Structure 1
Amino acid sequence: MTKTYYIGIDGGGTKTKFDLFDSDKNSIASITMPTIHPAQASFKEVVSVLTDAKEKLLANINDSDYVLKVGAGLGGYGINADYRKKLEDEFSTVFDEFKLYSDAYAAMLGALAGEDGILMIAGTGSIALAKVGDETFRCGGFGYRYGDEGSAYSIGKALISRALKEADGRLDKSIISDLVADYFDNIGINIIATSDFSRDKIAGLAAAASKYVENSESVRDIFLAAAKEISLHIKAIGKNFESGKRVRLSYIGGVFRSEYILECIKEMNQGIELVAPIYPPEKGSILQV
């Protein structure tokens, strides 16, 4: 009897996670490889990564007669048609049968085990996705320049902004001044204000500040503002569900490591059933294969 095996892929901006699943979609083996994001890796580099990962994972299969199916949630597989075509061509060079999705869509499928509901992602950036039957909806996800409200980046940026205001007397001093100074190794507020830090660096400030939420009103206000922005995403995308129906909401991203944020989300969305992610994105990518 011919068996079916699956490779699920979660392709991010810095690394790519591959997971081999058996016919019952139980994980057998996994491997982490370099990024295959179309903006960061050449055609040849991506094909090499895919080929190497395939060979290493298939070494775990003892059957000689089997079918291999691949599902991949990929950063870059979105509205950019050139990126989509590049990724499709790269995958067709290595695999016979595959389905590609955006990384956020695969994450939603995994978090909700393929069922209807909402996934709110709030890490460095932010976006909400919803699955209602065969339809998919999105809210936010417009990037850090004009969007990504409620993200760790937005929290970090707000903390820096508050520290700058405190430095020149527009606001009274709070723990944020010392927090920001310590985080940036006391390089000086003017250097902080004029430096071009990476998004990840600024986003990391949110995690550093989270421990002060309970005893600092100024920090708590910034985290509360982020929770309100996340709640706006949830309420907006929740309009796509039947009125009065209790909707499941799952969540992914470093912002949700804050218990305060989670409690605020529960309080602001009484009709929502908050559930931790059921499966990781790499499994989510094979649920519809």
Structure 2
Amino acid sequence: MVLYLGIDAGGTASKARLVDANGLRLGAGKAGPANTRIGLDALHRSLLDACTQALKDGGVADSDYGSVRVGMGIAGINRMGMKQQIQALDFPFANVQLTSDSIIANLGAHMGGDGAILILGTGSVGLIKRGEDSLSIGGYGFPISDEGSGAALGLSAIRHALRTLDGRTRPTQLSQAVTKQFDHAIPNVIAWMDDAAPADYAAFAPLVMEYAEIGDEIALSIVRDAAQHIERFIETIFAKGASRCVLMGGLAPRIKPWLRARVVEKLSAPLGDALDGALILAGLPIGSLASGR
């Protein structure tokens, strides 16, 4: 029997879902970050780890891996030459289809149909799909892009915390909570920054949201700024002719209440998730995906 494995590889984690030809879920897996910026070897390990977990969870023997068709959506795969390098990696499967994490999110959100998404996770990116054509908005990589994302929230929190430590601004509960993680010492922050990845910055996003919800003035300014960027994303998506737009990603539910009502009213509910999109990419018929739910 042919099996289908979908992989959603993002900046914070990589997730896998295994289904049979009828769309019935058989197994799941989760591994570390799989953004291309972590390096090809680390990326390969994360992808294989997520795949192996899902296959073992589904009771698939090593000898049957050759019957598995895989679809992978990988953050950062559009960087120059990266797709070709990943295609050259060794995977023990019947077939591996590769694309970006935003493409699989769009496929899942609209079950292969036309529409737009705005992903708000570790990073941020908008994607409009019309037939075989797609148009990306933003998503150029942290720190030059990814406005309104978890990494952007974390970066702003770190910047504000440093300003409180050197006396340029008044401390708040948020800044104190951030600097506490570095023993309130600027050299510790700088040392951390040297090796910090986007996911490390995004780890501070829940703190920002928590303190914004209780009225911390720095947290409020960060979240309101992020909301403005997100609203501009959505306005641009519709200005470019999208028929519907879905908000996706781990940060989306938390920040949606901060958007203006007239913007939220334009949004649609997703028909599926990014792993559904990865399974569509792998070749699973959409009808089987719907019937397997």
Q: Tell me the TM-score normalised to structure 2 length.
A: 0.76
| Residue 20 (str. 1) matches residue 14 (str. 2) | no
Superposed displacement of residue 281, structure 1: 2.4
- Report which of the two has the higher share of helix: 2
Question: 1:132: which partner in 2?
Answer: 130
Partner amino acid, structure 2, of 1:262: K
Partners of 1:35 and 1:186 lie apart in 2 by 27
Give the secondary structure class of the aligned counterpart of 2:280: coil
Superposed displacement of residue 7, structure 1: 2.0
Q: Which has the larger radius of gyration?
A: 1
| Residue 284 (str. 1) matches residue 280 (str. 2) | no
Gaps of 5+ in 2: 284-293
Give the secondary structure class of the aligned counterpart of 2:145: coil
CA distance 1:67–1:204, shift in 2 (3 Å): closer
Q: Tell me the TM-score normalised to structure 1 length.
A: 0.76
Question: 2:86: which partner in 1?
Answer: 87
Q: How does 1:25-104 map to 2 (within 5 A)?
A: 25-32=23-30, 39-41=39-41, 56=56, 59-60=59-60, 68-81=68-81, 83-90=82-89, 94-104=92-102
Partner amino acid, structure 2, of 1:279: G
Q: How does 1:239-254 map to 2 (within 5 A)?
A: 239-241=239-241, 245=243, 247-253=244-250
Give the secondary structure class of the aligned counterpart of 1:137: strand
Superposed displacement of residue 278, structure 1: 4.2
Partner amino acid, structure 1, of 2:259: I
Partners of 2:191 and 2:32 lie apart in 1 by 29
Q: What is the RMSD of the two structures over their aligned residues, measured on CA atoms?
A: 3.5
Question: 1:229: which partner in 2?
Answer: 229
Partners of 1:151 and 1:44 lie apart in 2 by 25
Partners of 1:282 and 1:73 lie apart in 2 by 9
Superposed displacement of residue 264, structure 1: 2.9
| Overall identity of the aligned pairs, in % | 24
Gaps of 5+ in 1: none
Contact 2:182 2:188 survives alignment (8 Å): no
Superposed displacement of residue 19, structure 1: 2.4
Question: 2:210: which partner in 1?
Answer: 211
Partners of 1:195 and 1:13 lie apart in 2 by 21
Q: What's the CA shift string for 1:105-133, capped at 9, x where partnerless?
A: 11222233323322222222221112223
Give the secondary structure class of the aligned counterpart of 1:104: helix
- Report which of the two has the higher share of strand: 1
